[in-house]
Amino acid sequence: MSTHISSRPGLLLAAFPPELAGLLEDPPEGWVTGCVGVGAVPAAVGTARLIAAHSPSRVLFVGTCGAYDPCLQIGDCFAVTEVLATSLEELRDEAYRPGIERTLWKGDASLPFPTHVVANPPAITRSQEGARLLASMAEAEHLELSGVFEAAHAAGVSVGAILGVANRVGPVGHEEWQTHHEEVSRNLIASLRERGVLG
């Protein structure tokens, strides 16, 4: 087995600076860091721009998310195996996507965390009924990952994501996220260091 280590850096991404917990200004050795913006379209453009600028060996996205699955607790961190672009309108049979549209992306990085499937709706879900419907498709909700994964796949770069649960999806989700997201982000970065992902 080859022991060659790529001289190209890894690209460590988040939607916005607090989710990198200080690493935007002080990247770990072997990595460059960047923020791609909030929402799938800005994230796709931002990721593509940073891949073009740095020619990374791999992309790792970190961030916070809301949980549908009651087994996921605030503070839990997990690796994303699949990202599903979906919406409540689709699940209610009020809308559909063309058959040729991509709606599913897979992570291809091996990461030492439990794994879950994430839904990427167009906006944050605020209702219990909405959370229940989306829970039939995924365990958690996140707004950027379809864009990040699409940009990395299009560039032929390995991609993975680690998310920390900052809230339960539902009527008080935003308030919970505001309370917990900075601490969850700091703990997520600490876990990546402890498990040797960031060195």
User: Quick one: three-class SS letters along 92-114?
Assistant: CCCCCCCCCCCCEEECCCCCCCC
Report how far residue 21's alpha carbon sits from residue 14's, in angstroms, rounded to the nearest whole number. 10
Which of 138, 134, 117 lies closest to 125, judged by CA?
134
Please check whether residue 176 is in contact with residue 126, taking contact to mean a CB–CB distance below 8 angstroms.
no
Please check whether residue 89 is in contact with residue 134, taking contact to mean a CB–CB distance below 8 angstroms.
no
Report how far residue 93's alpha carbon sits from residue 25's, in angstroms, rounded to the nearest whole number. 45
The CATH classification number of 10-194 equals 3.40.50.1580
DSSP 137: T
The residues that bridge with 79 in the sheet, in sequence order, are 115, 162
Query: What per-residue confidence (pLDDT) applies to 2?
Result: 37
Two tokens at 81?
Answer: 């195996």
Report how far residue 73's alpha carbon sits from residue 164's, in angstroms, rounded to the nearest whole number. 9
Please check whether residue 68 is in contact with residue 138, taking contact to mean a CB–CB distance below 8 angstroms.
yes
Query: Which residue blocks in the chain are alpha helix, DSSP H?
Result: 40-54, 88-91, 128-134, 145-155, 173-194
Regions of the chain with pLDDT less than 70: 1-6
Query: What per-residue confidence (pLDDT) applies to 7?
Result: 80
Query: What per-residue confidence (pLDDT) applies to 195?
Result: 94
pLDDT tens readout for residues 130-184: 999 999 999 999 999 999 999 999 999 999 999 999 999 999 999 999 999 999 9
Q: How many residues does the chain have?
A: 199
CA 57 to mean position of chain CA atoms: 18
Burial of 120 per CB tally in 10 Å (0-12, 13-18, 19+): buried
